[in-house]
Structure 1
């Protein structure tokens, strides 16, 4: 099995890479939605980021990736495991296929044990596998609505509750949802899109030099994946250190009142509903400051994350055909001017 394409080797697509780095440092932002053309590196970036993250400590043999240092009992299906026995695992990266059934997603009765032994046992689903990692959904706009509802509810609560066939199982399910899709194939419902913390737009590169470099690197990777990844190992290691340092620094980063006031004025200027946009801007700006090795969030951090935090929360104005990014830039100018 060949290794994923290195995150550091991705050409361009800076906003997408920044959003993924922020989500890796601060999962509380609520996931990343990536809309754009086919073949622009959406899944490549997500897989590359998951691969370069440091391994996580889990209870040996636990199908739920349980943290041995977490408080509280292990999930019922892992109750017999010894919490003192620990193993290291790569950060989970789970693909959710479009045709996945609800049982496969949330888990269900283990039919083999039920038929052969007469025991009622829980078979963990994709949400259990994704705990403490990433859940990637390609073409999320084509996924059945009830599955999307379920995923976002679990992502918001951090728990998966399964009650069926006489089973009642509850287990932690905290993960970063990364969704991707092509707007030409259908839009995600606004109330669901709003549940994603960040939304980014990717486009096919138009600069000749950038297109040539993309093709050159992809060709080198296809010819010899191991050698190509080895060439980018040092760059990926620097990104890994940057993420780990930011995760350790995050709790110490301070958001001054004037920064919060700037974010609130921007949200008012954009006319967004609720306070979710402001919370996401604050969390994303704090993660960005941590990534830049700073302990104080600046207004510039809010400006840097404003488009990705707010573009999918804007109301449609039939009298204003301006794109959402342009509307945010205009609102930023108005708020700066006071």
Structure 2
């Protein structure tokens, strides 16, 4: 097996790396759609990310990568007897543009099913990607019905195959990464909305950065193992940070004041439906865990909006991609301080201290034993 290019050796592309890392911390974010030109480290980053993911414990011999601690009761290879699991590295599975439906979801042998009464099922790429990464290059060129199947499985965490009245279901939870060049055609808005985050990438115009990219790539091509060894310490530190953020994630507090900022931001940019609000909340929580904090701040909400809203907002065909950052800052400012004022108008301290009634429900400015009449904006409690 070839040695992947180290994730920490990638030059620039900060948004791309952050989007991938947030999904590694919290797969519930919903994947990443990477838009931009070719030759910008999209495939390199995805393949490198798999080496940073924690190893996956699986049931020995199970083709569907069932977790020994909680095997899928509907697994076609089940039921599984209690046995010690084995660990394997997380997989990166690539879906080619020309793949068939059977290759994606799996093939069912109808003749054996009808003649012998057994569900002879050959797993597809969705089963291979379970508990790993599914990478779709040029997702905008994939047939629409395959994109529908792919995104349905990603949303439900399961894949269903039905032929001639015979059906098979298996778990299919994976980190979905799609790439596309907008010049070759757009995705339908309904499909765009199913990707959690979106990132715009382009080649750097900075001469020093381009020189460093070429220098590192040539060094890797000459000696992949030696190059990877020189970055092993940085890779190990990043791997540990991902594991620590995953462990911290369940303890991160998403306060009512922050939720109000999320809702106000989605309303201000006129996104359809509620998926944007949910994705922003999950992304902001992952950002806080990634920063080592147990509370979401306005800075997390701002960064989450820049990743989760650009492909969901209503815009004309000739509008520039991305968000109006001045409008975003104004919306966060208006939603944040107003929430603090609602709960702090009464200067008399309550018997139970901060955290009561009408305020931000977890907004950081409510400090222990201290009652301040002027509200503090949530931005002041954040950190990079």
In structure 1, the partner of 2:201 is 202
Mapped partners of 2:82, 2:111: distance in 1: 27
In structure 1, the partner of 2:14 is 14
Instruction: Give 1:335 deviation, angstroms.
Output: 1.1
Matched, 1:284 2:280: no
Matched, 1:335 2:344: no
In structure 2, the partner of 1:36 is 36
Moved runs in structure 1, 4+ residues, more than 6 A?
A: 111-114
Q: Deviations over 1:253-276 (max 9, x none)?
A: 001111111111111111111111
Mapped partners of 1:15, 1:243: distance in 2: 17
Paired residues of 1:314 and 1:324 also in contact (CA < 8 A): no
Q: 1:71 to 1:107 in 2, by over 3 A?
A: closer
Q: Deviations over 1:225-256 (max 9, x none)?
A: 00000111111111110111111111100011
In structure 2, the partner of 1:226 is 225
Mapped partners of 2:293, 2:167: distance in 1: 45
Instruction: Give 1:326 deviation, angstroms.
Output: 4.1
In structure 2, the partner of 1:133 is 132
Q: Aligned runs of 1:142-181 on 2, under 5 Å?
A: 142-165=141-164, 167-181=166-180
Paired residues of 1:162 and 1:170 also in contact (CA < 8 A): yes
Q: Work out which structure has the larger RCO, using CA pairs closer than 8 Å and 6 or more positions apart in sequence.
A: 1
Instruction: Give 1:294 deviation, angstroms.
Output: 0.6
Q: Aligned runs of 1:74-89 on 2, under 5 Å?
A: 75=75, 77-79=76-78, 81-89=80-88
Instruction: Give SS of 2:220's match.
Output: helix
Mapped partners of 2:100, 2:82: distance in 1: 32
Paired residues of 1:59 and 1:67 also in contact (CA < 8 A): yes
In structure 1, the partner of 2:364 is none
Mapped partners of 1:87, 1:26: distance in 2: 23
Instruction: Give SS of 2:221's match.
Output: helix
Mapped partners of 2:213, 2:110: distance in 1: 47
Paired residues of 1:59 and 1:82 also in contact (CA < 8 A): no
Q: Deviations over 1:7-46 (max 9, x none)?
A: 0000000001000011111111111000011000001111
Paired residues of 1:19 and 1:200 also in contact (CA < 8 A): yes
Q: 1:112 to 1:59 in 2, by over 3 A?
A: farther
Paired residues of 1:26 and 1:287 also in contact (CA < 8 A): yes
| Higher gyration radius (CA) | 2
Instruction: Give 1:334 deviation, angstroms.
Output: 2.0
* TM-score normalized with structure 1 length: 0.94
Paired residues of 2:110 and 2:163 also in contact (CA < 8 A): no
Q: Aligned runs of 1:235-246 on 2, under 5 Å?
A: 235-246=234-245
Instruction: Give 1:80 deviation, angstroms.
Output: 5.6
Mapped partners of 1:143, 1:302: distance in 2: 32
Q: Aligned runs of 1:61-100 on 2, under 5 Å?
A: 61-70=61-70, 73=73, 75=75, 77-79=76-78, 81-100=80-99
Q: Unpaired runs of 5+ in structure 2?
A: 335-384
Q: Deviations over 1:111-135 (max 9, x none)?
A: 9988xx9965111111111111111
Mapped partners of 1:249, 1:316: distance in 2: 37
Instruction: Give 1:317 deviation, angstroms.
Output: 3.6
Mapped partners of 2:94, 2:141: distance in 1: 15
Paired residues of 2:72 and 2:170 also in contact (CA < 8 A): no
Mapped partners of 2:283, 2:159: distance in 1: 26
